[in-house]
Amino acid sequence: MIFGSRSDDIRRYRVTGGGPVYHLFGTAVRYLAEDLDEWSRTRRRRSTSDDGSGPRPGPAGADR
């Protein structure tokens, strides 16, 4: 699992787009930790109704 995503989901993202940047070595797919972090940050939401078009949430505890 990557960030709670099943490998099937990540594989589908590679085909359809929207997933993290990856490197392909022959048939082996590899991800850099910083690419996964970046992708994860772009998917942060405050609620299920948050479509991601507004300002991004800051680090945990920053709004206290």
Residue 55: pLDDT band with limits 50, 70, 90? low
Q: Is the model's pTM score more than 0.75? A: no
Contacts of 31 (CB under 8 A, 6+ apart): 2, 20, 21, 22, 23
- Closest C-alpha among 5, 3, 37 to residue 21: 37
- pLDDT grade for 49, boundaries at 50, 70 and 90: confident
What pLDDT sits at residue 58?
62
Question: What pLDDT, on a 0 to 100 scale, did the predictor assign at position 1?
Answer: 44
